[in-house]
Amino acid sequence: MRDAEAQHLASLAAEAWGGAEKPPRLVAKRENTVFEVLLRDGRHVALRLHRPGYQGEGAINSELAFTHLLAASGFRCPPPVATTEGRLVVRIEGRLASAVRWFYGTPVGRAGTALEGNETQQAGLFRALGVLLAQLHDAADRLDLPSQYQRPYWDEDGLLGDAPLWGRFWTNPALGLRQRDLLLEAREAALGALARYRREGADFGMIHADPLRENLLLDEAGLALIDFDDCGFGFRFYDLGVALSQNVGAPNAAQLAQSLIEGYRSRRPMPENAVALVEMFTLIRALASCGWIVSRARPGDPRQAFYAGRAVRLAREFLDGGAPGP
């Protein structure tokens, strides 16, 4: 969608919330197209035009029900904002739209950029992120979710099945035949490891599923999570793997992983083999991203090769090191 068309739809959608005081400001074009909007009644919101075909109206309503309960429990995330008619989701010219409260703060980083700060500051940030994710999982465990809750399952099938939620990663056009076979071998090994983890009592429940740097805001009160578009039922350590996936190749990647785990463990129990499990979920996220980009970029786009290369690197390390045992 062109920016001008998105701007037009955002202005139309804002009328459902009482109208915009001034033209909506485009702030992000990822899965959803997001605008900053100051409403005529003074409310400040992030208005989202949802990616067609990704999340349906029921799933978006469920996401917003989740963040409403989380925010009400004290967890730092933006709650939904209802329209003047009390609805959370509207359809504007065939496009679904929703709004959440504008959350003031600075993104920790952006996709494709190096993490800012020295190593001590970065370690402190990831320890705080570990605490935040543990708080999220604790809060989710206490919530009484609606019976008609519609969210994806980031389980064995959703991550590594024959039709993963983010696409068949082994079909990425940047993969050679040997690389494809390597990813499929890693997939089978990870499925076996997940089966063992299930037998041991895997920590499974509601997760954010996308706590990347661009979805973390920092203000004077600390870290907050935004963009719950992918939230669903999944392995809790997948959230940790996602957070670490952007550090692959960084000289202090191992230190950041240790800091994240230390922060998480300070609030929530983790098994003795937590490091190996988190490494496996970092690989699983890399595999998922390798599939995600297939339908979102042309075959020659350098992002295809980037995500494929990262997945191959982690798959090789995973197979060389062995899957996490009991």
Q: What is the pLDDT of residues 254-301, one digit of tens each?
A: 999 999 999 999 999 999 999 999 999 999 999 999 999 999 999 999
| Pairing state between β 216-219 and 33-38 | unpaired
Q: What region does 201 belong to: left with phi over 0, alpha with psi -120 to 50, or beta?
A: left
d(CA 241, CA 114): 18
In whole angstroms, give the CA distance from residue 178 to residue 184: 10
Separation between Cα atoms, residue 52 and residue 62, nearest integer Å: 17
User: Quick one: pLDDT at residue 221?
Assistant: 94
Query: 254-258 long-range contacts, Cβ below 8 Å, gap at least 24?
Result: 255/119, 255/123, 256/122, 256/123, 256/126, 257/126, 257/282
**Residue 191 to residues 207, 208, 313, 323, Cα–Cα distance (Å):** 20, 22, 18, 10
User: What average pLDDT does range 201-221 have in this prediction?
Assistant: 96
**107-321: which CATH architecture?**
Alpha-Beta Complex (3.90)
Buried-exposed string 189-214: b where 16+ CB fall within 10 A, e elsewhere = bbbebbeebeeeebbbebbbbbbbbb
Q: What is the pLDDT of residue 64?
A: 97
The pLDDT of residue 148 is 83
Average pLDDT rounded to a whole number, residues 166-177: 98
Instruction: Summarize pLDDT for 131-151 with one digit per residue, the tens.
Output: 999 999 999 999 988 878 999
What H or E segment, with its residue span, contains residue 125?
Answer: helix 119-142
Q: Is 133 in contact with 160 (CB distance < 8 Å)? A: no
Residue 324 confidence (pLDDT): 66
Average pLDDT, the chain: 95
* pLDDT level of residue 323 (50, 70, 90 thresholds): low
The per-residue pLDDT for 326 is: 46
Which CATH topology does 3-103 take?
Phosphorylase Kinase; domain 1 (3.30.200)
Give the percent of the chain with pLDDT over 70. Answer: 98
Average pLDDT over residues 42-64: 96
Predicted confidence (pLDDT) at residue 325 exceeds the cutoff of 60: no
Strand, helix or coil for residue 315? helix
- Confidence (pTM): 0.96
Quote the pLDDT of residue 202: 96
DSSP secondary structure code for residue 80 in this structure: B
Model confidence at 225, pLDDT cuts 50, 70, 90, reads very high
CB contact burial 128-160 (16+ within 10 A = b; e otherwise) = bbbbbbbbbbebbeebeeeeebbbbebbbebbb
Least confident of 67-71, 111-115, 251-255: 111-115
Average pLDDT over residues 92-115: 91
Tokens standing for residue 143: 């919530």
In the chain, domain spans = 3-103, 107-321
Residue from 287, 311, 323 nearest 193 by CA:
323
Q: Classify residue 30 by burial, with Cβ atoms within 10 Å: 0-12, 13-18, 19+.
A: middle
Q: Which run of H or of E encompasses 123? A: helix 119-142
Q: Are strands 232-235 and 153-154 parallel, antiparallel or unpaired?
A: parallel
Q: Which pLDDT score is estimated for 183?
A: 98
Closest to 75 in 3D by CA, of 135, 142, 160, 154: 135
The amino acid at 57: E
The percent of residues in the chain predicted with pLDDT above 90, rounded, is 92
Local confidence band at 220 (pLDDT 50, 70, 90 cut-offs): very high
Residue 110 pLDDT class (50, 70, 90 cuts): confident
Q: Let me know: does 14 contact 8? Beta carbons within 8 Å.
A: no
Q: Which residues contact 159 (CB under 8 A, 6 or more apart)?
A: 165, 234, 238, 284, 287, 288
pLDDT at 182: 98
Whether the CB-CB separation of 234 and 158 falls below 8 Å is answered with: yes
Count of helix runs (H) and strand runs (E) in the chain: 9, 11
